[in-house]
């Protein structure tokens, strides 16, 4: 079962993609080579359509029930996405009328079919009206999407504590720039007060998830943007130590994790301590009976120090 935090990432991903899809459709339309098939990916009646997925996800997250709906940034964003879906469906229907009905009506007219009720002129009027309304319905959708982008920013600010969301924005920097109209660092500053805080949040999330190289990259960005050096250097020592363990560089792992421990991690880093303890406890097994006894002893000693200095769940019975 997906959490709300991860579902918000899906919503953000679909919103960025909806921007790209609408821009693509608008460009094709104005170049005169838009086909109905091009519109299906943008808007439709099932999960193949990005706006359908986005609408359904927003409803699930921001409409808990008819009597217990969220009143706030999420509720307004949900309403805007629902309106965008319906506005874009109007554009889709106009394209469908032009591309599917239009050729059929023309073929019937050319075939000289009997039309006692005067249906063909009526159908021709419908097709003509749809052609005339195409640009109008597209402009309405584009305007609504631009307005919804402002509410998307409000939604991001309201969910600043969602590290998965911050990680996603960092990973999609180019798309964020194109949609938000400003560089990623400015977007992170809007959300977190400073871009450095955003990168630091992402780094800690990466490290907690075991993505140590990505965590190192985020820490370097946070450092460049002015995040406190002492905390950055401590977390970098941890990240480099755990990455060294994954690569089988056990002596480097012990050295870096020792630097991290000497820097005084507190209870906030209990999960890091648990991961480091587990890694160090396996060194002896990984090097085998013929391995360096000093390496085995040093890893065990550091694991015991971590157990004593940084409280983490299960530490009392770990060794």
pLDDT in tens, 130-176: 777 778 888 999 999 999 999 999 999 999 999 999 999 999 999 99
Smallest CA-to-CA distance from 65 within 55, 73, 75 is with 75
DSSP 315: G
Residue 102 pLDDT exceeds 80 = no
Alpha carbons 160 and 190: distance in angstroms, whole number: 10
Can you tell me the mean pLDDT for 89-112? 75
Could you tell me if 32 and 141 lie in one domain? yes
Does 219 fall in a domain? no
Could you tell me if 136 and 256 lie in one domain? no
Q: Give the domain-ending residue among 143, 159, 175.
A: 159
Residue 319 pLDDT exceeds 60 = no
Alpha carbons 223 and 82: distance in angstroms, whole number: 41
Question: Of 128 and 135, which is predicted with more confidence?
Answer: 135
Query: Domain count of the chain?
Result: 2
Q: Give the domain-ending residue among 124, 159, 194.
A: 159
Could you tell me if 290 and 148 lie in one domain? no
The residues, any chain, with a CB within 8 Å of residue 158's CB and separated by 6 or more, are 72, 73, 74
CA dihedral 162, 164, 170, 176 (to 10 degrees): -70
| Buried-exposed string 295-304: b where 16+ CB fall within 10 A, e elsewhere | bbebbeebbe
Does 28 fall in a domain? yes
Could you tell me if 11 and 116 lie in one domain? yes
Helix (H, G, I), strand (E, B) or coil at 211: coil
The residue segments making up the domain with residue 49 are 4-159
- Kindly state the tokens that stand for 224: 């460049």
Could you tell me if 151 and 233 lie in one domain? no
Q: Give the domain-ending residue among 110, 130, 159.
A: 159
Does 166 fall in a domain? no
Lowest mean pLDDT among 24-38, 79-93, 104-118, 285-299: 104-118
Element (H, E) at 110: helix 102-111
- Kindly state the tokens that stand for 182: 């400003």
CB count in 10 Å sphere of residue 136? 12
Q: What is the pLDDT of residue 313?
A: 75
Could you tell me if 41 and 144 lie in one domain? yes
DSSP 72: S
Residue 64, classified by CB atoms within 10 Å of its CB into exposed (0-12), middle (13-18) or buried (19+), is exposed
pLDDT digits (tens, 9 = 90+) for 181-206: 999 999 999 999 999 999 999 999 99
Q: pTM of the prediction?
A: 0.84
Most confident of 42-46, 81-85, 94-98, 116-120: 81-85
Could you tell me if 59 and 154 lie in one domain? yes
Alpha carbons 12 and 98: distance in angstroms, whole number: 33
Could you tell me if 142 and 241 lie in one domain? no
Does 69 fall in a domain? yes
Alpha carbons 169 and 185: distance in angstroms, whole number: 10
């Amino acid at each position: 079962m997906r959490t709300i935090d991860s579902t918000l990432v899906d919503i953000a991903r679909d919103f960025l993609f909806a921007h790209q899809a609408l821009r693509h459709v608008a460009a094709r339309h104005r170049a005169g080579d838009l086909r109905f098939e091009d519109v299906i990916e943008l808007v439709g009646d099932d999960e193949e359509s990005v706006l359908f997925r986005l609408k359904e996800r927003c409803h699930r997250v921001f409409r808990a029930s008819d009597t217990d709906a969220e009143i706030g940034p999420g509720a307004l964003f949900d309403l805007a996405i629902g309106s965008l879906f319906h506005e874009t469906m109007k554009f889709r229907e106009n394209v469908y009328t032009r591309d599917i009905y239009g050729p059929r009506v023309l073929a019937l007219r050319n075939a000289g079919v009997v039309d006692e009720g005067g249906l063909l002129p009526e159908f021709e009027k419908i097709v003509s009206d749809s052609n005339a309304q195409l640009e109008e319905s597209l402009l309405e959708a584009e305007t609504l999407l631009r307005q919804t982008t402002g509410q998307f920013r409000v939604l991001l600010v309201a969910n600043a504590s969602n590290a998965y969301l911050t990680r996603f924005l960092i990973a999609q920097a180019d798309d964020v720039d194109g949609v938000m109209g400003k560089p990623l660092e400015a977007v992170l500053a809007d959300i977190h007060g400073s871009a450095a805080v955003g990168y630091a949040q992402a780094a800690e999330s990466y490290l907690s998830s075991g993505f140590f190289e990505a965590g190192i990259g985020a820490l370097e960005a946070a450092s460049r943007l002015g995040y406190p050096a002492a905390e950055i250097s401590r977390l970098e020592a941890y990240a480099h130590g755990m990455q060294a363990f994954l690569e089988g560089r056990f002596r480097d792992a012990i050295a870096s994790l020792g630097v991290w421990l000497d820097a005084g991690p507190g209870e906030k880093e209990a999960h890091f301590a648990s991961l480091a303890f587990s890694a160090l406890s396996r060194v002896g097994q990984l090097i085998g009976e013929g391995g360096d006894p000093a390496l085995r002893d040093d890893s065990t000693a550091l694991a015991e120090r971590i157990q004593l200095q940084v409280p983490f769940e299960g530490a009392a019975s770990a060794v």
